[in-house]
Structure formats: C-alpha cells, structure tokens
C-alpha cells in the first residue's frame, strides 16, 4: 500500500540557511528539527529531503562535497533515531558556470521532478503527502507534484511577507516545528498562482514567473 511522505526542503527549512555548505557541522540543524522529524515519523510519514543545489552549477561546491554533507546529515539523524528515507538534490542551473551542470532541469524546484522520482521509487501517495519549504518554489513544486504544501517563516521565508497567498501558511507554520500540528489539522492550502509571487531574494531566486503561469 502506498505510503504518505513529507518532502522537506533543506536550507532554511531543516537546516540553517548558510549559503553553499561544503562540510557538515552539528549545529547546522535547527534545534527543533530532529524532534520534529521524529514526530513526523511517528505519524507514519516517510521522510525525504529535496533540495536545489545550484551552487554545484556555479562551481561553489562539488557533488562529492554535497554528497558527503548529506551522508553526515543522514548519519546525524540516524544517531538520534530518525530514519531519513533519502536525500535528492538538483545540481543544475540554466546559467551555471560549470558546463556539465548548466541546463534547465525538471528536478530543479519549482519543477516536481525530484518528488515524482521519489514517489515512484518508494511507492509514495503524493495526494496524502506534504512538501514543506521556506520558498515559494517549494510550495509550487509540491503543488505541481500534487502534494499538500507548507511554507515556513525561517530561512528565506521572510522574503515572502508581501506574497498575499502566503498568509495561510505563515500563520500556521512559522517554523518546521509547527508542521506536525498543521498536518494533524489537515488544513489544505488555497490555490495560488505563480503570478502572485514577488520574490525579492538573492541566491539565484528566479523572477521569470511570466513564463510559468499556473
Ligand atoms: Mg530553502
Ligand atoms: Zn537537475
């Protein structure tokens, strides 16, 4: 039988937003992250991390470094009794400086590629699953995949204060720690449109919304 999952954005949601990270450190996780993941596991959810790592395409970190960081993160969680089913990331960016990774990719959020791959591989029921992140692209990736979505206020979350459609989530999930309660309430988000977004972010945050009407 298909299982429900929580797909977690990495930077600014699960761990502190620190730009490109080439080495793991224990204080990278938000203090509430491990207890929250344990709670979500106890609720029966599979846990996945899905992350845009365009820093690879920009030549700021290597895939070997990212993979090592993810192994350390997985081990840190396992040591605290939290089983992470998997971490997937997209190393691509259409304007990257590393030719090998310079391209459009359906795995790059707001694309739903990573979520769909994981759902197929692990027999996940996307309609009963959640995508949580600090950026509208996380919400849009979740919606494209057919999950429920949650926007947190940590990381880049504050940059979305002017996004009118954000309010329902911000009120209920100022951090990841609020997610189990939000899920328990089975609150579902109202429809959003890409055109409503007004990202002021740095970090390669895309503003080409006109091409992606929803
Ligand atoms: Mg993020
Ligand atoms: Zn990719």
78 in Cβ contact with 38 (< 8 Å) = no
Look up 104 and say whether it is catalytic: no
Global confidence as pTM: 0.84
Residue 1: pLDDT band with limits 50, 70, 90: confident
199 in Cβ contact with 205 (< 8 Å) = yes
Q: What is the mean pLDDT of residues 162-169?
A: 58
The catalytic position among 9, 134, 138, 178 is 9
Q: How far apart are the first and last CA of the chain?
A: 31
Binning the chain into helix, strand and coil, the percentages to the nearest 5 are 45, 15, 45
pLDDT, tens digit (0-9, with 9 covering 90-100), for 65-110: 999 999 999 999 999 999 999 999 999 999 999 999 999 999 999 9
Domains in the chain: ranges and CATH: 5-212 (3.40.50.1000)
Q: What ligand has the least distance to the C-alpha of 9?
A: 1
pLDDT, tens digit (0-9, with 9 covering 90-100), for 184-201: 886 544 444 343 444 443
Q: What ligand has the least distance to the C-alpha of 89?
A: 2
**Ligand 2 is a single-atom ion; what residues have CB below 5 A from it?**
90, 92, 105, 107
Report the distance separating Cα 89 and Cα 8, nearest Å.
11
Look up 11 and say whether it is catalytic: yes
* No. of helices (H) and no. of strands (E), the chain: 7, 5
């Amino acid at each position: 039988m298909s299982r429900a999952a929580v797909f977690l954005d990495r930077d600014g949601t699960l761990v502190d937003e620190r730009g490109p990270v080439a080495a793991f450190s224990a204080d990278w996780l938000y203090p509430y992250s491990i207890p929250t993941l344990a709670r979500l596991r106890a609720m029966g959810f599979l846990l996945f991390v899905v992350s845009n790592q365009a820093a690879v395409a920009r030549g700021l970190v290597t895939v070997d470094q990212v993979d090592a960081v993810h192994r350390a993160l997985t081990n840190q969680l396992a040591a605290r009794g939290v089983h992470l089913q998997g971490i997937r990331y997209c190393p691509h960016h259409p304007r990257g400086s590393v030719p090998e990774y310079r391209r459009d990719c359906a795995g790059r959020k707001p694309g739903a590629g990573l979520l769909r791959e994981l759902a197929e591989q692990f027999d996940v029921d996307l309609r009963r699953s959640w995508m949580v992140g600090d950026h509208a692209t996380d919400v849009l990736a979740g919606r494209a995949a057919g999950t429920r979505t949650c926007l947190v206020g940590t990381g880049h979350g504050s940059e979305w204060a002017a996004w009118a459609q954000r309010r329902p989530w911000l009120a209920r999930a100022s951090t990841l720690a609020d997610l189990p309660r939000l899920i328990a309430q089975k609150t579902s988000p109202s429809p959003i449109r890409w055109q409503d977004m007004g990202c002021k972010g740095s970090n390669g945050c895309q503003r080409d919304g006109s091409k992606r009407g929803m």
